[in-house]
Amino acid sequence: MTKDPYIIFMTESTILQVVFHIISIMVFLGGIVLIGYILILLIKSLKRSIKAFDIYIEKNKKISE
């Protein structure tokens, strides 16, 4: 039997470590996607609120004149 450095013996603990690493990577990527989605919604909401505020200012200028 030769000692081949490329052969990896998978024990239960190494399999669990691989599974937990994959799960943590998926959670991390999901968090990044969720943060991006929240930022997009926030930007859209801010654009709408700026438009509504502009309409409000125009309306009050006409009333005060």
Amino acid identity at 6: Y
**Which pLDDT does position 40 carry in this prediction?**
98
The residue that leads in pLDDT, 56 or 62, is 56
pTM of the model: 0.65
pLDDT, tens digit (0-9, with 9 covering 90-100), for 2-39: 566 777 777 888 889 999 999 999 999 999 999 999 99
Amino acid identity at 31: G
Domain count, the chain: 1
Instruction: For the chain, report the end-to-end CA distance as a whole number of angstroms.
Output: 97
**Which pLDDT does position 11 carry in this prediction?**
83
Range of the domain at 32: 1-64
The residue that leads in pLDDT, 12 or 59, is 59
